[in-house]
């Protein structure tokens, strides 16, 4: 082993650690889930073919580094620039060096030092750049039990506070619609009960624990907990800490197919919210939830809700014959006024079902329904001084919601306005992703007054399935918005459908 070997090994290690800045940021943006860094690498390679050339260059340099150690340094330099487009460092939305990230950094660098020491006698330190991303994944996996142990105290504190304050706990999950439903039901419950809801979309154990530890005060009657999951077992664990009296599932959809692979697993994971509750609220327009509702009636109180497909449900929110809305409670119809930018009526129905479960009087429900709040970035509609309407549906896009947002845009545009859809497409739909994005493209270019603006690179092949003369491509949402703003006229509608995080291509 020569001095040159040592210098080359040290330089390679330092450069690989610099390249790790990119992957630590991706890990942070992906909520530190093991497997997500490799998944994002695959997404970039599929979307940006030039990245494959970079991967080939990494392999060639790694192999050449065995006889020529300085080629390992070249490989590390290639790694810093790879994959093209996924920047190493951002001045905005940069890597936040939280305590958790610092632990991840220590684990990653420690692993890379050990691997470098192991490869050095073999003359193969040049392979370290090839192992960089897998080693970040190993560090994420190793960090899981450490983080769980460190977070335990916050969970214990939250559980103790829940027991001490003793609010009635309402738990909400679903493939989508969770946050909107939570906001709606909180508004309805506040007509009778002192109510605290978990903030924004903080729907994991740390988010719920923090909400309870920081904000739950004595005298709070109800705690509304939004519960999310990436797989079976997670909601069951949440329910052990925040045991619900009333649970609801808004819907079952394709939003989790990338991680959970099939619909049956999604149903199983979401259904973990039901066993602890004495009352369950279920959207019976979904076949699986209809079957669960019928089965559970023998063991607990079930409130079935519907957007009109099941008029026999205990709660129905549907369009009335005059074009307005009506609420049907146990067979009795009541005309109601809902805000123009209200989300899917199913979410309103679930919220009403939850309020009924907590004994909110019918009169209070009818009085408060017109004031239910819009949820930011979920089909939120505004009209500017220029007469152009904007629908912001940039958060948690899914096939059902996207179709509804397009229908709403056409309704606002009327007979003369144009609809301009700006989208990077939908994500995390697994084997259905290409099909669903192609259907979105066809829908968004379905008539002569519709234009689809495709941004980014992630879903480009699928989003080019619509009418070519009504499809435009842009590098970024900002570029698409600037172009559309020049074309749009009063009466037109601009629909922002989804907005991918900036670590996506």
pLDDT of residue 416: 93
Q: For a pLDDT cut of 90, what percent of the chain falls above it? A: 87
pLDDT of residue 210: 95
Query: Tokens representing 115?
Result: 């691997």
SS (H, E, C) 213-258: HHHCCCCCCEEEEECCCCCCCHHHHHHHHCCCCEEEECCCCCCCHH
pLDDT of residue 201: 78
Longest CA–CA separation in the chain, Å: 87
- Dihedral (Cα; 496, 500, 501, 503), 10-degree rounding: -140
* Distance separating alpha carbons of residues 5 and 125, to the nearest angstrom: 9
Give the helix/strand (H/E) hosting 431.
none
Tell me the pLDDT band of 365, cut-offs 50, 70 and 90.
very high
Mean pLDDT value across residues 90-111: 93
Choice between 383 and 302, residue whose per-residue pLDDT is larger: 302
Q: Which segments of the chain belong to CATH 3.90.190.20?
A: 380-497
Give the contacts of 298 (CB within 8 A, at least 6 positions apart).
Answer: none
SS (H, E, C) 289-329: HHHHHHHHCCCCEEEEEECCCCCCCCEEEEECCCCCEEEEE
pLDDT of residue 94: 85
CB neighbour class for 480 (10 Å; exposed up to 12, middle 13-18, buried from 19): buried
Give the contacts of 460 (CB within 8 A, at least 6 positions apart).
Answer: 47, 454, 473
Mean pLDDT value across residues 245-259: 91
Give me Rg for the CA atoms of the chain.
Answer: 26
Q: What 3-state class would DSSP assign to 484?
A: helix
Mean pLDDT value across residues 408-420: 94
Q: For a pLDDT cut of 70, what percent of the chain falls above it? A: 100
pLDDT of residue 378: 79
Residue pLDDT, tens place only, 36-89: 999 999 999 999 999 999 999 999 999 999 999 999 999 999 999 999 999 998
Residue pLDDT, tens place only, 254-270: 877 888 989 999 999 99
The answer to whether residues 457 and 47 touch, using CB atoms and an 8 Å cutoff, is yes
pLDDT of residue 358: 98
* Distance separating alpha carbons of residues 484 and 502, to the nearest angstrom: 21
Give the contacts of 8 (CB within 8 A, at least 6 positions apart).
Answer: 65, 69, 70, 72, 73, 125
The answer to whether residues 289 and 266 touch, using CB atoms and an 8 Å cutoff, is no
pLDDT of residue 162: 97
Residue pLDDT, tens place only, 10-32: 999 999 999 999 999 999 999 99
SS (H, E, C) 104-167: HHHHHHHHHHHHHHHHHHHCCHHHHHHHHHHHHHHHHHHHHHHHHHHHHHHHHHHHHHHHHHCC
Mean residue pLDDT of the chain comes to 94
Q: Over 80: is that where the pLDDT of 91 sits? A: no
pLDDT of residue 100: 96
Q: What 3-state class would DSSP assign to 373?
A: coil
List the Cα angle 359/361/364 in 5-degree steps. 130
Tell me the pLDDT band of 191, cut-offs 50, 70 and 90.
very high
pLDDT of residue 56: 96
| HSE (side-chain half, CA atoms, 13 Å) at 201 | 16
Residue 364 carries which DSSP code?
H
Choice between 199 and 377, residue whose per-residue pLDDT is larger: 199
Alpha helices in 369-429 (DSSP H): 399-413
Q: Over 90: is that where the pLDDT of 501 sits? A: no
Least confident of 295-304, 311-320, 340-349, 356-365: 340-349
- CA separation (Å) from 108 to 139, 143, 164? 5, 10, 41
pLDDT of residue 331: 85
| HSE (side-chain half, CA atoms, 13 Å) at 264 | 0
Q: Which residue has the tokens 């504190």?
A: 157
For domain 166-371, the CATH architecture is 3-Layer(aba) Sandwich (3.40)
Q: Which segments of the chain belong to CATH 3.40.1190.10?
A: 166-371
Q: What 3-state class would DSSP assign to 280?
A: strand
pLDDT of residue 270: 97
Report the first-to-last Cα separation within the chain, whole angstroms: 42
* Distance separating alpha carbons of residues 80 and 132, to the nearest angstrom: 11
pLDDT of residue 255: 79
- pTM for this model (two decimals): 0.90
The answer to whether residues 85 and 500 touch, using CB atoms and an 8 Å cutoff, is no
pLDDT of residue 322: 86
pLDDT of residue 145: 96
Query: Tokens representing 426?
Result: 């939908």
Q: What 3-state class would DSSP assign to 361?
A: coil
What fold, for 380-497? 3.90.190
pLDDT of residue 339: 86
């Amino acid at each position: 082993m020569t001095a040159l070997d040592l210098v080359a090994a040290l330089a390679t290690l330092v450069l690989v650690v610099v390249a790790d800045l990119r992957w630590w940021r991706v890990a942070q943006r992906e909520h530190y889930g093991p497997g997500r860094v490799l998944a994002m690498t695959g997404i970039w390679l599929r979307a940006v073919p030039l990245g494959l050339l970079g991967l080939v260059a990494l392999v060639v340099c790694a192999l050449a580094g065995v006889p020529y150690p300085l080629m390992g340094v070249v490989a590390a330099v290639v790694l810093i620039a790879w994959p093209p487009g996924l920047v190493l460092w951002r001045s905005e939305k940069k890597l936040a060096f939280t305590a958790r990230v610092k632990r991840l950094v220590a684990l990653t660098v420690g692993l890379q030092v050990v691997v470098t020491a192991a490869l050095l006698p073999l003359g193969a330190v040049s392979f370290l750049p090839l192992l960089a991303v897998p080693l970040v994944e190993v560090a994420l996996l190793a960090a899981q039990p450490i983080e769980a142990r460190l977070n335990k105290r916050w969970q214990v504190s939250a559980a103790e506070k829940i027991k001490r304050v003793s609010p009635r706990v309402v738990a909400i999950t679903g493939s989508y619609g969770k946050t909107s439903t939570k906001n709606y039901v909180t508004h309805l419950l506040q007509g009778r009960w002192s109510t605290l809801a978990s903030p924004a979309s903080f729907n994991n154990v740390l988010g719920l624990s923090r909400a309870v530890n920081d904000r739950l005060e004595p005298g709070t009657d109800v705690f509304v907990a939004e519960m999310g999951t990436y797989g079976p077992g997670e909601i069951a664990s949440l329910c052990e800490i925040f045991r619900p009296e009333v649970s609801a599932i808004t819907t079952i959809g394709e939003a989790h197919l990338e991680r959970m692979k099939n619909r049956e697993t999604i149903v199983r994971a979401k259904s973990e919210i039901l066993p602890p509750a004495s009352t369950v609220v279920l959207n019976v327009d979904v076949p699986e939830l209809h079957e669960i509702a019928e089965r559970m009636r023998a063991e607990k109180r079930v409130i079935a809700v519907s957007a009109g497909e099941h008029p026999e449900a205990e709660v129905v929110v549907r369009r009335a014959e005059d074009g307005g809305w009506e609420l049907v409670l146990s067979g009795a119809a009541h005309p109601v006024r809902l805000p123009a930018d209200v989300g899917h009526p199913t979410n309103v129905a679930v919220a009403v079902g939850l309020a009924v479960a907590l004994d909110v009087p019918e009169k209070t429900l009818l009085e408060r329904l017109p004031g239910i709040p819009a949820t930011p970035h979920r089909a939120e509609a505004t009209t500017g001084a220029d007469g152009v309407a904007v629908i912001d549906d940039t958060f948690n896009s899914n096939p059902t919601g996207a179709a509804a947002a397009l229908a709403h845009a056409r309704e606002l545009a009327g007979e003369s306005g144009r609809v301009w859809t700006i989208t990077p497409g939908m994500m995390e739909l697994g084997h259905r992703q290409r099909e669903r994005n192609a259907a979105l493209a066809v829908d968004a270019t379905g008539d002569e007054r519709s234009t689809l603006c495709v941004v980014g690179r992630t879903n480009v092949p699928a989003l080019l399935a619509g009418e070519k003369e009504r499809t435009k491509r842009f590098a970024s949402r900002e570029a698409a918005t600037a172009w559309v703003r020049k074309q749009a006229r009063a009466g037109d509608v601009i629909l922002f459908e989804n907005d991918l995080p900036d670590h996506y291509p």
